[in-house]
Amino acid sequence: MRRVGLGGKLCVCALAALLSSCVTTTTYKPTTVVRVSVHDQALEVVKDGTPTHRFPVSTSRFGLGDQPNSFRTPLGRFVVQNKIGDGVPLGGKFYHRHYTGERVDLERGSALSHDSLLTRILWLRGLEGQNRNAYGRGIYIHGTNQEALIGQRASYGCIRMRNRDVLSLYESVPLGSLVVIQLDPLPPPPRPLIASAAARPAAALLSPAGATQPSAAANLSPVPPKALPVQSSAPSHPAAAPNQRPHSTSSRAADRHAVVHHARSQGHPRGDRSLRGKHLAKAATRKDV
């Protein structure tokens, strides 16, 4: 059998490494997938095909790309190659991926002019030609001191998150998980809770468990039955008593009596005298005729 020299062994090793990298790129099927939408400025965690978390993020303010020193966010498929920050407190500061022992006050951290890497780091390695420089460029998912800018394009190439959000992401995403950074928006999140709430009346959601719920008809707006009259707006004048005779507009005496009563009620004592004088004058005229 012919022996293989040192050069041949090196060639075989290089070929094996190349083939293994190709297999990793084409057959990578993790159970946890992280999707980052540049359009939505949001990150979604999907486990076994089911979305479990969604967080706001910030991608690069300089646009998209993978060129070195471009400060742009690369697109495509990545893998979580390293996770850094076990045991670091919330707001802990990193320098060259090492915890400095300093803790940033998150309430006042946005006043700092520079972006600090805080709390946790997920270091991404590109799986495609369009993002092959990501690992060497130091493209991370990390916490930031500038939480007020989360939700808009404000980073220097990395994926920024609020510190409590990146802490939750760090715990739920294992090493080797697939990360997809895409231009397209994320699909609408499932709403099983809202769907179940729509099937039940609102009172059932607010009342304590075990309480007796009213029927569906009781939850509707009350509608009076047809047998009962629906009272309209209150009348402007009180209704007449049942035994009271209706007021006759053709009776002059009744009209005078009503005018005199109105004048007295308004504080005009001379109203009855003037009417009495007019009545006497008319009576005298009739006698003369």
Per-residue model confidence (pLDDT) at position 190: 72
**Sign of the CA dihedral running 139, 151, 177, 16:** negative
Per-residue model confidence (pLDDT) at position 110: 66
Per-residue model confidence (pLDDT) at position 115: 84
pLDDT in tens, 115-159: 899 999 999 999 999 999 999 999 999 999 999 999 999 999 999
Per-residue model confidence (pLDDT) at position 5: 58
pLDDT in tens, 210-241: 444 433 333 333 333 333 444 444 444 444 44
Per-residue model confidence (pLDDT) at position 74: 98
- Whether the CB-CB separation of 202 and 214 falls below 8 Å is answered with no
Distances, alpha carbon 51 to alpha carbons 46, 174, 182, 262, in Å: 4, 16, 16, 80
- Whether the CB-CB separation of 57 and 160 falls below 8 Å is answered with yes
Per-residue model confidence (pLDDT) at position 213: 42
Model confidence pTM above 0.75: no
Q: Nearest-CA neighbor of 55 among 122, 110, 107, 104?
A: 122
Per-residue model confidence (pLDDT) at position 283: 53
Mark out the alpha helices in 61-212 (DSSP H runs). 134-137, 163-172, 192-199, 202-206
User: Which parts of 74-225 are beta strand (E)?
Assistant: 76-84, 92-95, 98-103, 117-126, 140-144, 159-161, 178-182
Q: Which two tokens stand for residue 145?
A: 């001191």
Tracing tokens 């009209």 back to the chain, one arrives at 255
Mean pLDDT by 10 residues, the chain (289 residues): 54 50 50 96 95 96 97 97 96 96 84 83 97 97 95 97 97 96 91 42 37 39 39 46 48 51 47 52 52
Q: Nearest-CA neighbor of 88 among 178, 166, 175?
A: 166
